[in-house]
Structure 1
Amino acid sequence: MTTTATPEQLKGEDWAGEQGRKWLSHIDRFEGMIAAIGDALRGLTSLALAEAVGSEGAVLGIDISPDLIAEASRRAEGQANVRFLCADAATVSLDDAPHDRLVSRFGSMFFAEPYAAFANLHGLLKPGGRMDLAVWGPPRDNPWMMELMGVARAHVDIPSPDPRDPGPFAFADLDYVRDILAHAGFSAPEVETYQCEQAIGGPGALPEDAADFALASMAIGRALAEAGPEVLEAARNDLLALFTRHYREGEGVMMRNKVWLLSATA
């Protein structure tokens, strides 16, 4: 028997609160899982970008989560050319704008009003300034998530969201992204496809570690937990079996992804 997950159970995008705290509590595993994608984007984190621009440049990191901003600020102590601001990038106004470049790694798909949000971002860039985004490609091309969702759906009825609803795959449709950027005043984006195998729960994680990470850090974990301990345990066993099939000793639980790397100018 399955139970039905409510939209509230699956929302999982309260980045200013619960989801930000979840990311922080599992930050090493999250960062390890997507590190190669950040490298492909030519800028993994604000700290890496600050190192790249050196003393002649400066970096401002913006995040809606006060918990993540506090951790980033702690890590940046002593690095003079980087600072952090807790704000919503969709609406933020900056006294020192406009800037030369904007970089976002999986942070742009959660805007409630993407057309307005990207219009605001356009205003933060100098004419000719560049924006680089990493966003997930179509769900069918991301088995790391879809196979995990398949396990969850065997135990909890999960309604299919509108493909353009805020969430990890909101920008999977490139025509939709191009329309948003065009309305905001950006050039037609250059699109590079990036695919690799990513380590669920970070490099070297055992299947048990990956299963516990997925249940503790992703929205489906809450829905499964609220369905009861028996449902949660059964789902964990199925996840363990899935991740064991994808486990390679010395590497971790390796599953395929597909990412769009987008570059556009203001």
Structure 2
Amino acid sequence: MSKIANTDQAEYWSGPSGEKWVQKQDMFDALMTPVLEVLLARAGIKAGQKVLDIGCGTGASLLQLAGFVGPSGHVTGVDVSTPMLAMARARVETAELDNVTCIEADAQVYDFGSMAVDQIVSRFGVMFFEDPYAAFANIAKALAPGGKMTFITWAGLPENPWFRLPIEFAKARVGSPPPPDPRAPGPMAFSEQDYVTDILIQAGFRDVTAETVHPSLSPLGTLSDVADFAGREGPASRIVNDMGGSDDDVLAIVSDLENAMRDFDTSDGVRVPAKLNLFSGSAAD
């Protein structure tokens, strides 16, 4: 792998957390399918384009993008997680796609200078940089003149019960760890639209826009399955581990989540409302 600046994130996503994403890939892919649909619809990927996917994870976005650009286009996926990128490569190989390249690298410092891509996209992959101003200035170098970047992020806890509920129940059960810096690398780091648009403008992007979108997340399984998944992965598990919680604590959190999520149980499965930020910007012509 090339040099990295975000060492904490590289270690985190290449350790047990990255392995969990690989083990639960079907669940995570299903959960985030509506988010990817919104992102790709807004980006407007065309056949023959060169596309860079920042934070491609286990590769669901790469498979979709490969179909959009077709054999005359090309997709490059970049991620800092060794196990997640290994799965992405395996999925690309299984699908026999020769128009996709996967690079294990830190996008904050990777040399993008010769790429000249038409589009950059990211689904929840850009909120983890140690220095977001430096990272986006570097990422912008990958764009060809007039190229476009489109990415989607979480818009904070209050209207995102997928995060808010596990955190609330975990804290009520085992106590609260010290509150993080709201702009520290993590899922909610880009919840403030003005902060993110300033980053893009400072990085040299033109025509910067920010809007709010409200897709519904679509986790797999029954209400019980979804509550178990939400209670054992993500923020609840981190709080339980940080506070020295027990297996009984996890079971109690899962039970609380099942009760709280009953309103999300529909005839089409569990559908969890979300509030997300969708950003875009373009390179100078």
TM-score, with length taken from structure 1: 0.87
Runs of 4+ in 1 over 3 A off after TM superposition: none
Cα distance per residue 1:159-196 (max 9 Å; x no partner): 33222111111111011001111111112422232103
SS of the aligned residue for 2:261 comes to helix
Structure 1 residues 12 and 185, CA gap change in structure 2 (3 angstroms): closer
Choose the corresponding residue for 1:166, options 180, 185, 199: 185
Contact 1:109 1:170 in 2 (8 A): yes
Deviates more, 1:255-264 or 1:93-102: 93-102
Question: Contact 2:62–2:75 (CA<8 Å) still a contact in 1?
Answer: yes
8 Å Cα contact 2:112-2:141 kept in structure 1: no
Q: Tell me how large the CA RMSD over aligned residues is.
A: 2.1
C-alpha offsets along residues 33-79 of structure 1, whole Å, 9 cap, x if unaligned? 11011111116611211111112211111111111111111111221
Q: Which residue of 2 aligns with 1:265?
A: 282
91-100 or 14-23: bigger deviation = 91-100
SS in 1 for 2:206: coil
Q: Distance in 1 between matches of 2:20 and 2:189?
A: 21
Alignment of 1:92-171 (within 5 A): 92-94=110-112, 96-155=114-173, 156-171=175-190
**How far apart, in 2, do the equivalents of 1:214 and 1:144 lie?**
7
1:238 CA drift (Å): 1.4
Deviation at 1:245, TM superposition (A): 4.1
Aligned to 2:272: 255
Counterpart code for 1:51: G
SS of equivalent to 1:88: coil
Whether the aligned pair in 2 keeps the contact of 1:13 and 1:19 (CA below 8 Å) is: no
**Deviates further, 94-103 or 169-178:** 94-103
Amino acid of the structure 2 residue aligned with 1:240: E
- Structure-1 residue corresponding to 2:211: 192
Structure 1 residue matching 2:14: 3-state secondary structure: coil
1:76 and 1:106 mapped to 2: Cα distance?
A: 20
Tell me whether 1:34 sits opposite 2:32 in the alignment: yes
**Separation (CA, whole Å) in 1 of partners of 2:84 and 2:192:** 29
CA-to-aligned-CA distance 1:110-143 (integer Å, 9 cap, x gap): 1111111111101111222111101111322212
In the alignment, is the contact (CA less than 8 A) between 1:163 and 1:170 conserved in 2?
yes
Task: Quote how far apart the aligned CAs of 1:212 are.
Answer: 2.0
* Structure 1 CA distance for aligned equivalents of residues 97 and 10 of structure 2: 33
State the AA in 1 paired with 2:273: R
Q: How far apart, CA to CA, are the structure 2 residues paired with 1:18 and 1:47?
A: 25
Whether the aligned pair in 1 keeps the contact of 2:205 and 2:281 (CA below 8 Å) is: yes
**Map 1:209-248 → 2, pairs under 5 A:** 209-224=225-240, 226-248=244-266
Aligned to 2:81: 65
| Higher RCO (CA-CA < 8 Å; seq separation 6+) | 1
Q: Deviations over 1:70-97 (max 9, x none)?
A: 1111111221111111111111114742
Counterpart of 2:3 in structure 1 is none
Segments of 5+ residues of structure 2 without an aligned counterpart are 1-8, 42-59
- Report which stretch shifted further, 101-110 or 50-59: 50-59
Q: For 1:72 and 1:228, how far apart are their aligned partners in 2?
A: 33
Q: What is the Cα deviation at residue 104 of structure 1?
A: 0.4
Task: Please give the alpha-carbon distance, in whole angstroms, between the structure 1 residues aligned to 2:113 and 2:39.
Answer: 27
Contact preservation (8 Å) 2:113, 2:142: no
For 2:62 and 2:114, locate their aligned partners in 1 and report how far apart those are by CA, in whole Å.
17
Distance 2:232 2:138 in 1: 34
Q: TM-score, normalised by structure 2?
A: 0.81
Q: 1:3 corresponds to which residue?
A: none
What residue in structure 1 maps to residue 105 of structure 2?
87
Rounded Cα–Cα distance in structure 2 between residues aligned with 1:12 and 1:62: 12
Q: CA deviation at 1:210?
A: 1.4
8 Å CA contact retained: 2:10, 2:81: no
Distance (Å, rounded) in 2 between the aligned partners of 1:33 and 1:13: 24
> Structure 1 counterpart of 2:248, which letter?
E
Q: Identity of counterpart residues, as a percentage? A: 35
